[in-house]
Amino acid sequence: MTPQEFHVRFARYPEDLPQLRAVREPVFIVEQAVPPELEWDELDPVSVHVLACDTSGAPVGTARLTPDHTIGRMAVLPTWRGQGVAAAMLETLIERAVELGYSALELHAQTHAIGLYERFDFEAFGPEYEEAGIPHRSMRRALPSEPIDRTLRETDSAHELGALTLSILGHARRQLAIYTRDLDPTLLGTPDAIEALRRFVTGTRDAHVRILAHDLRRAVRESHGIIALTQRLPSRISIRVIEDEPDTQYAAAFTLNDRGYVFRPNATRSEASACFHDPARQRQLLGYFNEVWERARPASELRPL
């Protein structure tokens, strides 16, 4: 399924109340049969609300952060589930909580959604219980005290490019997406880069690395470390080869983790821009990556003999 475009913004309460209702009432009151008197409460007017909207501005998801440091009322319309909407809203509210100086966050997770929150470092505690007839578990996570690093970095130094790439590899939570011409042996084939990838895929639950490459012949010929790692861990690292026009004419290269990126407009040069926390730009690049991924062929030539 091709990802649909959306953006997340902070809602203005009560001006955006109709948009909040347009998501929460179909999801909670109609779909999940939550009584209306339980859905809307005294915390709504004093909470931080976010809205996920499609390209026309129509609401497709919402969530809130209450003054008692709790995230809740996470709702996504059915046709938008599986598109990353809940994760984007959750990340936005976590960022705001850090900005507000909160030391920790809690939430009441519907049991089917526990996996989503675990990917953002929430941990379940206590027994399962029911809220509005729906099974829940309480979850908690500590928040970093340091500010989020949104600095845009630009360089034309091969050394700095390597350091930025290692930082992106080393701070991945769940996913890495790498778009490269030939696996960049001087960038991605160094012992430090291979070790960062190995630590990520062996030490992170549900970790997955996807790599798109134009040409693997040099990597195979020179026994690139990523190839050996892929052969040992094929369920964690996937490589596909770009063969279709106009994908083969794309000149750039980039490495993405869950929140940041390193981008080179020309894959053969060291000029690059990077940001460790820019979800909007990361999603834009990931959207293009996903489109090409669907067209590319699996690198079957890398299977171990």
pLDDT tens string 209-250: 999 999 999 988 888 999 999 988 888 999 999 999 999 999
CATH for the stretch 153-302: 3.30.870.10
Q: 3-state SS string over 254-276?
A: EEECCCCEEEECCCCCCCEEEEC
Return the SS3 of 74: strand
Euclidean distance between CA atoms 139 and 129, whole angstroms: 12
Tell me the chain's radius of gyration from C-alpha atoms. 21
The answer to whether the CB of 161 falls within 8 A of the CB of 155 is yes
β-strand partners of 110: 136
Domain positions in the chain: 6-142, 153-302
| 6-142 maps to CATH 3.50.50.60 | no
Three-state SS for 99? helix
Run of H or E residues at 241: strand 237-241
**Residue 208 · residue 175 · CB < 8 Å:** yes
pTM beyond 0.85: the answer is no
pLDDT tens digits along 23-67: 999 999 999 999 998 899 999 999 999 999 999 999 999 999 999
Q: Count Cα atoms within 13 angstroms, Cβ side, for 114.
A: 11
| Contact between 209 and 178 (Cβ < 8 Å) | yes
CB atoms within 10 A of CB 185: 15
What is residue 103's three-state secondary structure?
Answer: coil
Task: Write out residues in the chain with pLDDT < 70, as ranges.
Answer: 1-3, 146, 205, 303-305
CA distances from 63 to 51, 70, 204, 278 (A): 7, 11, 27, 20
pLDDT of residue 133: 87
CA distance 98 to 67: 13
